[in-house]
Structure 1
C-alpha cells in the first residue's frame, strides 16, 4: 500500500494532462459541467486542453462551436445562470475583444446587476502568451485586462500541480473564473515547454485556494513576483545569480483576483527589494499593481524596485523581434542586479 501511494504522489504530468484530469473528474461528479469552444471536441483543443474528453463524455458535453465567440460565451453565461457549470474556451485570449460585452458586462456583472438573484458559475479558459511567433493578434497575455474589471476571479497556473488544483477550484466556484494558461507551458509536442511545468500530480482530486501565492524559491536578498511562463524564467535567473552570491526569492502569484498581498509583503519585508515580472504590457498592468500594493501600504519597506514587462508595442511576428520584446531570464537577471546596493 505504501509503495502504491508513493507511486501515485510521484507520477508526473504535463500541464495539459493535469487540466484535463481535473475537468474529467468534475464532469464525472457533476452532470451540469460541460465544455465548449473551437476545436475542443475532435481535435482535443489546439493546446491539448480537452484531449480525450470527447471519447468519454460525448458531443453533448464536449461541444465544438462555430467561430463566434460572442455567441458561445453568451450561451455559457446563460447556461451558468440557469444552474449549469460551463467551461468556455477562448482559443487565444486575444479573441476576448470579439466577446468583450459578454465577458465584461455579462459574465462579470450579472450577479451584481441582478441583485444577487443569479450566480454565474462558469470558467472561461484562455491560452495566453507569445514566444512562438504568432504575431500581434495571437500572442498577448492580457492579465491586466482581465484582472481590471470587478466581478470575476483570475487565475494563472505555472505548473501541472497548480493547474489541476486551480481547475478543480475554478469549476466548483460559484463566481465566474478566468483561467489563463500559457501555451508554452502545456507540454504539447510541437511547442516544447521549459523545464519545470511538468511536475508530480496526485491522482486524487485537490483544490488550491484562490488568493494563495506560492513561494517557488526562498531567498534573502531580493523578491521576484511573477506568474505563468515567467515563473520558470525567474527561477532560471535565480539559479544563475546564486553563482554570483545573490539569493533570490521567487513568488508565483497563481491568482491575480484575489491577490495574495500578504505573501508579497512578508517577502519584501525580508528582502527589502522587489522585482515585478510578467508578460503583459508594462503600462497599467500587473507589474505596476504589485509594486503599488507594496509601496502604498508601507513605503519604507522597499529599498529598490524594478519591473520587467512587454514594452507598449504590438508583439512582433519576426522571431528576433519577438525575442527582443518578450522578457527572458537575462532581462530578469539585469533587473535583479539593478536593485543591488
Structure 2
C-alpha cells in the first residue's frame, strides 16, 4: 500500500523537487533566494540544508542570467530547475526563453536537448504589487518547443513537476499562487508521474463542457455544484497542460454536451480560450448547439488589491456564463 501525505500545493511542489533531487544528482535548483531562505513562497524550504549550495544555488537578481545559465547547464546534460520569484519577473529573461530555451533542439538538429523546467508562481488573488499577478500562459504556449504545465491540485503538482523534470525538452511550470496554501490533498510519498499533455475530467455532466485549469478550477467546480442544484450538469475538464493541449479531450467533452464554456483568469483577447474555441469549431462544429462562452479576466492591466476580486472569474460569474450558454437560444 502506497503511503500518502496530506499536503498543500506548495508543499507538493517542494516534495517533487526533493524527490527528483534525491534520485538524480544532475537535478539542480537555482534562483533568487531559493537557497538559505527557501524561496519567497518557501517552495524550496530545506533543500539547501539537504543538498548544499552546489545544487541549491542562490543567484543574483537577474532573470536573464538565471534562465541563461540554466540553458547552458541543460545543454551540457544537467537537469536544472530555475525559479523566477513571480511569473511577472520572467520578462527580462524572455529572450533566453524564446531565442534559446525553446529552439535549442531545432537549432542543433536534435544534437542537443534542454531538459530544464522553468518554475514560477503565477496568477492573481493574493493582493500582490504590480508585476506580481499576471496570467500570461498564452505567451509561452504560443512558443513552439515549450511545454506549459499548470497544476490545480497538490497531487498533480508533484506528479506533473516530476514529469517535467524528467522530460528531455524544456517545460514552463506555472504554479497558481492563489491556491498554494488554499487546501490540502493526498499526495503519495513515493515518486510518480502525471503525464504532461493529458487533461482530466473533474466532474461528469451532460449539459455543458466547461474547460479550465490552475486556480480557476476551484470556482468552476463550485459553480458546477451550485448549478447541479438547478438541474444543470456540467462536465468540468481541467486541461492541466496548456501546451500541448489535449485536443482529443476537448472534442470528446464537447461532442458529449454540444455546449461549452472556457474559464481562465488571463485577459480574453488572445487568451487560450480562443484556441479552445477554434479547436471546437474546426473539429466538432456539427455538434455545436450554442456559441462557446468565454469567462475570463478583462482586457486591462491587472488591477491592484480590492479590484482583484472583480477581475478574477468568480463562481458567480462562472454560473452566469454557463447559464447563458445552456439557455441559448
User: What interval of TM-score do these two structures reach, taking the shorter chain for normalisation?
Assistant: over 0.9
Match of residue 69 from structure 2: 75
Structure 2 counterparts to residues 196-235 of structure 1, below 5 A:
198-235=184-221
Match of residue 240 from structure 2: 254
Match of residue 110 from structure 1: 104
Match of residue 155 from structure 1: 149
- Which of the residues 139, 144, 163 maps onto 1:145? 139
1:136-173 per-position Cα deviation (integer Å, ceiling 9, x unaligned): 41111111011011011110000000001101100100
1:28-83 per-position Cα deviation (integer Å, ceiling 9, x unaligned): 11111000011111221112211211110011111111100011110000000000
1:287-311 per-position Cα deviation (integer Å, ceiling 9, x unaligned): 1111111111121222121001111
Distance in 1, Cα, partners of 2:127 & 2:19? 34
Distance in 1, Cα, partners of 2:321 & 2:231? 16
Whether 1:316 aligns to 2:310 is no
Deviation of 1:20 (Å):
1.3
Deviation of 1:229 (Å):
0.5
Structure 2 counterparts to residues 183-202 of structure 1, below 5 A:
183-187=177-181, 193=182, 195=183, 198-202=184-188
What SS class does the counterpart of residue 201 from structure 1 fall into? Answer: strand
Q: Which runs of 5+ in 2 are unaligned?
A: none
Whether 1:276 aligns to 2:262 is yes
Distance in 2, Cα, partners of 1:167 & 1:281? 26
Match of residue 13 from structure 1: 7
Match of residue 93 from structure 1: 87
Whether 1:57 aligns to 2:57 is no
- The answer to whether the 8 A contact 1:169-1:208 is kept is yes
What SS class does the counterpart of residue 90 from structure 2 fall into? Answer: helix
1:164-192 per-position Cα deviation (integer Å, ceiling 9, x unaligned): 110110010000000000011111xxxxx
Deviation of 1:97 (Å):
1.2
Deviation of 1:318 (Å):
3.4
Deviation of 1:135 (Å):
4.0
- The answer to whether the 8 A contact 1:213-1:253 is kept is yes
Structure 2 counterparts to residues 300-339 of structure 1, below 5 A:
300-304=286-290, 305-319=292-306, 321-339=307-325
Aligned CA-pair RMSD = 1.1
Distance in 1, Cα, partners of 2:45 & 2:254? 41
Whether 1:28 aligns to 2:15 is no
Whether 1:46 aligns to 2:33 is no
Distance in 2, Cα, partners of 1:170 & 1:154? 9
- Provide TM-score, normalisation by structure 2: 0.97
- Which of the residues 320, 326, 329 maps onto 1:340? 326
Match of residue 250 from structure 2: 264
Deviation of 1:208 (Å):
0.9
Runs of 4+ in 1 over 4 A off after TM superposition: none
- Which of the residues 284, 295, 298 maps onto 2:281? 295
Q: Which runs of 5+ in 1 are unaligned?
A: 188-192
- The answer to whether the 8 A contact 1:135-1:316 is kept is no
- The answer to whether the 8 A contact 2:254-2:284 is kept is no
Distance in 2, Cα, partners of 1:141 & 1:179? 13
Distance in 2, Cα, partners of 1:163 & 1:135? 25
- The answer to whether the 8 A contact 1:278-1:287 is kept is yes
